[in-house]
Structure 1
Amino acid sequence: MKKQTLNTHLILDDYRHLPNYPTIAQETAAWVKANPGVNKSDVKRWAQETYGTVDFVKMKKSAAPLEIFGNIGEHIPASAVDQMYTVMRLPMATKGALMPDAHLGYAMPIGGVAVLEGAVSPSFVGYDISCMVQLSILDIEVAAFETERSHFAHLLQAETSFGLGADFARGQRKHAVMESAAWQELGIPDKLRSLAKQQLGSSGGGNHFADLVVIELLAALEGWQAGDKLVGLLTHSGSRGAGHKLATHYVNKAAAHTNLIARGVPKGYEWLPLDHELGQQYLGAMTLMGEYAKANHDLIHDHFCAAAGVQTSQRIWNRHNYAWVEGNDV
């Protein structure tokens, strides 16, 4: 009869996340060696009697409070609401909201907002870390802009780059963010930093855009009255390839960590604790990508203004793929 070989690491999988796991593994292996003939059930029973059973984190039965700004089925699809209630059943979710334009996402709906106590979810932040919109109000009269619209459009097209893998020749775009110490402190590979430098100031693909617009103010704004019409440069883009690769890395890390400590958590809803090294590393990477995304927008706006010979009187911007830490909440 063939002798049964026991893989104690597989049997002890429930204990792998514990800080004393190396000791547990060594002692279990020694016990198996001292007790030839034991089977998998014997080992598992001995481990539970010796080290206790492991209490895994699980989804809550009832959801945390959720505020919905819109009518389900009219403004917000029911599928997005279902996704958001899954978010609200996470053990660390304390409250959430759905915006009127919310729709189905990868895991958390796009247009969803969640507060997590002591944790951050790279998946919820998204794969385009710090995707954002920025508006520069330009000192061009509307009539003059309408006359030269085609000319300005060609200038703008020359000052950014669209499409998958869009970039610039080496040295064409420079920004202080590329010299940040965070690249090295976070251990970001040189290859990824080089990619970020090459794509600096580009827009990318998907629903990203750079557009010259005429806006009408709905309310007074520092020197202008409600109803005034202004010319602006409006851009929508994020952290490009570097942000996507870092997001993918930490989404995978969050999945691995959550699978160690929790059971029954759907794919895409994993998290990293703030008191864990990985959680802090992710926040650092997210912050750096936020600075990088802002640099991309500023370069597009600054280079266009220089090429067009116009000035910016005001710049307004906001991120939408991001996490903000407030005390112990994210």
Structure 2
Amino acid sequence: MITGKTLINLGFKQGKWFKEAISYANKHNLEGDNLLNYLQSAEPIVIEPYATPLNYHKNIRAESDEEVANVEQIHKTMEELMKTPTLVEGAVMPDACPTGAVGQIPVGGIAVAKNAIHPAMHSADICCSVMMTNLGHIDPKKVLDKAHALTHFGGGGRKDIFDLPRDLEDKIKSNRFLNTDRSLKFARTHLATQGDGNHFLYVGRSEKTGETMLVTHHGSRGFGANLYTEGMRLAEAFRKQMSPKTLAKNAWIPYDTEEGKAYWEALQIIREWTKLNHKLLHDTTQRRLKVETLDQFWNEHNFVFKEDDLFYHAKGATPLDDKFVPDSKDGLRLIPLNMSEPILIVKGETTDSNLGFAPHGAGRDVSRSQHKRNKADKTKEQVFAEETANLDVRFFSGEIDISELPSAYKNAQNVQDQMKEFGLGEVKDKILPYGCIMAGDWEVNAPWKIKARKKREAKERKAKNKIAKEKYRNR
């Protein structure tokens, strides 16, 4: 009778695979060389991280003293990231900034993996993307007003639910990762919503033609975040079995497994849903304005792109190469900078150093909290007035978020200069800003914050009443 002790005595390391291997060996009465050969074939292959990091392409340069520390941290995290044993190539863009622990892919990073999908490298904001619609020669204020009445920023879904198309719902239900009540609820209620953070609805005019253009920026909301959670759970199970020394955040799902193919299909469904999310906002706004759509295109800048058995994880990087964007329109891509700067319409080609990508925006040199501390000598109203002069900037929640104002981001001109320097796309047109809508600091009046405030106020009232009674009794 073969037991776990038998396998250990033969020199095999104990693991979950023991149970299935022991059952198979006993069922087939394996012994001697036959047993050893079988166990060697059944034993999971353990993959060690690279001892030294792979080289990666550095399409970035510090332009100021403040940027020096940021760029140093980017290189530090990239060097750790490039020890991940699935990776074959990598790059960083001029708008790169670190996020998370050392070794986690930075915003503005590209990591190319062989036969592997790394959920943390596309993050919870799967398919964060931008869409542009040319609405012709129309007053941009009218566009912003109509869009404002339609869009939805902040946490949660919306009450006036848009219908989820039946064919898309069927695709969701056919996928093992997406066919849950929670996932379907997000897909239905988060449709035509834009979330929070740096997501926006922007209106401006073409520098070349003067035509008014609407641009939206958001990802897949709770629908995508729910898939990310499932993906990370599965990737961690594979990591423990296949590569326990790899950083947990760099765990992966092997594509050549049933789970890997199902996860890839789920990502494509998330992509389809996210494009629909943009399109509902654009097309409904256009219909309510009673104007024609002269042009419309979109692109992701936070996704995983596949070429044969290579998976390009672009964490905040715009795909230039049409092979990455199956619904490309004339090879044009959108790169937003900040609310006071133009949105760039670019076109470009793959080079050895850009790997087929461009920046996705202006990036940050310091964290949101540090930026707020840097502005502590002024009120948020003062900062807002200074940085949004002559622009129609609105916060959907009614609360100013200074961490989304222009000074929170890298110098936009420096990013554009480095795009030229490193061959990261050619600017074909610019959408000059009229105004935009963002979530703002919506958590100020989030339900749980209001509940906590009321509880605190009730406690304070009770304490004051108690003191007043004591004073009355002691008169």
Q: Same fold (TM over 0.5)?
A: yes
The superposition leaves residues 220-269 of structure 1 with CA deviations (integer Å, 9 ceiling, x where unpaired) of xxxxxxx4333110100111111101111111210121111113211211
1:160 aligns with 2:158: no
The structural deviation recorded for 1:327 is 0.6
- Kept in 1, the 8 Å contact 2:134–2:294? The answer is yes
| Aligned match of 2:195 | 204
Code of the residue aligned with 1:185 in structure 2: it is N
The structural deviation recorded for 1:51 is 4.8
Instruction: Compare relative contact order (CA 8 Å, sep 6+) and give the higher one, 1 or 2.
Output: 1
The superposition leaves residues 115-172 of structure 1 with CA deviations (integer Å, 9 ceiling, x where unpaired) of 101111011011011110111111124xxx15xx1x43221111111101032424x4
The structural deviation recorded for 1:299 is 0.3
The structural deviation recorded for 1:63 is 2.0
- Kept in 1, the 8 Å contact 2:239–2:248? The answer is no
The structural deviation recorded for 1:15 is 4.7
In 2, Cα distance between equivalents of 1:177 and 1:268: 34
| Aligned match of 2:454 | none
In 1, Cα distance between equivalents of 2:86 and 2:170: 33
| Aligned match of 2:95 | 101
1:79 aligns with 2:73: yes
> What SS does the corresponding residue of 1:113 show, helix, strand or coil?
strand
- Kept in 2, the 8 Å contact 1:15–1:54? The answer is no
Change (3 A) 1:64 1:22: same
1:268 aligns with 2:265: no
Change (3 A) 1:64 1:303: same
1:193 aligns with 2:184: yes
Code of the residue aligned with 1:65 in structure 2: it is N
| Aligned match of 1:135 | 132
| Aligned match of 2:282 | 301
In 1, Cα distance between equivalents of 2:130 and 2:216: 6
| Aligned match of 1:322 | 303
The superposition leaves residues 201-224 of structure 1 with CA deviations (integer Å, 9 ceiling, x where unpaired) of 1111121111212232xxxxxxxx
In 2, Cα distance between equivalents of 1:168 and 1:215: 35
The structural deviation recorded for 1:112 is 0.5
The superposition leaves residues 71-105 of structure 1 with CA deviations (integer Å, 9 ceiling, x where unpaired) of 15459522222222222211121111101001112
1:184 aligns with 2:189: no
| Aligned match of 1:279 | 260
In 2, Cα distance between equivalents of 1:215 and 1:180: 39
| Aligned match of 1:68 | 58
- Kept in 2, the 8 Å contact 1:177–1:295? The answer is no
In 1, Cα distance between equivalents of 2:120 and 2:68: 27
Code of the residue aligned with 2:53 in structure 1: it is A
In 1, Cα distance between equivalents of 2:167 and 2:121: 25
Aligned-residue RMSD, C-alpha: 3.0
| Aligned match of 1:111 | 108
> What SS does the corresponding residue of 2:124 show, helix, strand or coil?
coil
In 1, Cα distance between equivalents of 2:220 and 2:299: 14
- Kept in 2, the 8 Å contact 1:76–1:100? The answer is no
> What SS does the corresponding residue of 1:63 show, helix, strand or coil?
coil
Change (3 A) 1:258 1:251: same
1:234 aligns with 2:215: yes
1:124 aligns with 2:121: yes
- Kept in 1, the 8 Å contact 2:137–2:210? The answer is no
Query: Please, what TM-score do these two structures have when normalized by structure 1?
Result: 0.78
In 1, Cα distance between equivalents of 2:297 and 2:45: 48
- Kept in 2, the 8 Å contact 1:76–1:101? The answer is no
Code of the residue aligned with 1:152 in structure 2: it is V
> What SS does the corresponding residue of 1:323 show, helix, strand or coil?
strand
> What SS does the corresponding residue of 2:232 show, helix, strand or coil?
helix
Change (3 A) 1:27 1:129: same
Code of the residue aligned with 1:129 in structure 2: it is I
In 2, Cα distance between equivalents of 1:51 and 1:186: 31
> What SS does the corresponding residue of 2:153 show, helix, strand or coil?
coil
